Amino acid sequence: MQNKQLRKWIPFLLFTGLLVGGPSLSGSPALAADPAPQAAPQNANAFTGKITGKSNKAKTISIEVQGKNEFLKFDDKTTGLEHAIEGEAAIVQFEMRGADRVATAVKPKLATLPEGVTEMKTDELASLIAKGPEEGNYVLVDSRPAARYHEGHIPTAISLPDTVHMATGDAYLPGDARMKKTTLIFYCGGFT
Amino acid sequence: MSPKSAGLAKKMGHTDVRVFLAGVPGWKKAGKSVVASEKFVQTGNIVLVDLRSKEEYEAGHIPKAHSIPLASLAAKEDSLPSKAPIVVYANSFVEAQQGYNLMKKWGVKTGSIWPGGVKSWAANGNKLATGPTPAAITWVRQLGKGEVSVAEFKKAMEGSSTQVILDVRTKDEVKECSFKNSLAIPLDEIEKRISELPKDKEMLIHCTTGARAEMAKNALDKAGIKSRFLLAEVECSQSKCEINE
CATH number at residue A77: 2.40.50.320
Q: What is the pLDDT of residue A42?
A: 58
Contact between residue B52 and residue B91 where contact means Cβ atoms under 8 Å apart: yes
> For residue A55, which amino acid is it?
S
What distance in Å separates the CA atoms of residue B82 and residue B35, rounded to the nearest whole number?
18
CA distance A74 to chain B (A): 11
A104 and A155 in one domain? no
Number of domains in chain A: 2
Residues 6+ apart with CB under 8 A from B38: B121, B124, B126
Q: What is the pLDDT of residue A37?
A: 41
What distance in Å separates the CA atoms of residue B151 and residue B147, rounded to the nearest whole number?
12
- CA-nearest of A92, A87, A85 to A70 is A92
For residue A6, being part of any structural domain is answered with no
Contact B24 A118 (CB under 8 A): no
CATH number at residue A136: 3.40.250.10
> Looking at chain B from residue 183 to 242, which residues have their Cβ under 8 Å from any Cβ of chain A?
186-188, 190-191, 207-209, 211-212, 214-215, 218-219, 222
Q: What is the pLDDT of residue A68?
A: 79
Q: What is the pLDDT of residue A153?
A: 96
Q: Which residues form the domain of A100? A: 46-108
What separation in angstroms does the CA of B129 have from each of B49, B59, B126, B170?
14, 8, 10, 52
Q: What is the pLDDT of residue B207?
A: 93
A135 and A104 in one domain? no
- A96-122 per-residue burial string, b: 16 or more CB within 10 A, e: under 16: eeeeebbbbbbebbebebbeebeebeb
Question: At the topology level of CATH, where does B150-244 sit?
Answer: Oxidized Rhodanese; domain 1 (3.40.250)
Q: Considering the domain B25-123 in this protein, what is its CATH number?
A: 3.40.250.10
For residue A140, being part of any structural domain is answered with yes
What distance in Å separates the CA atoms of residue A151 and residue A139, rounded to the nearest whole number?
20
A131 and A162 in one domain? yes
ipTM of the complex: 0.74
Q: What is the pLDDT of residue A180?
A: 78
Contact B44 A151 (CB under 8 A): yes
Residue where a domain terminates, one of A65, A86, A108: A108
Question: Cα-Cα-Cα-Cα dihedral of A26, A31, A32, A33, to 10°?
Answer: 140
pLDDT in tens, chain A (192 residues): 444 444 444 444 444 434 443 333 333 333 333 334 444 455 579 998 889 889 888 899 999 887 778 899 999 999 999 889 887 889 999 999 988 899 999 998 877 788 889 999 999 999 999 999 999 999 999 999 898 999 999 999 999 998 888 888 888 888 777 777 789 999 988 654
CA atoms within 13 A on the CB side of B132: 3
For residue A30, being part of any structural domain is answered with no
Residues of chain B under the 50 pLDDT cut? none
> For residue B94, which amino acid is it?
V
For residue A28, being part of any structural domain is answered with no
Contact between residue B176 and residue B239 where contact means Cβ atoms under 8 Å apart: yes
Nearest CA in chain B to A9: B11
Q: Please, where in chain B does CATH 3.40.250.10 lie? A: 25-123, 150-244
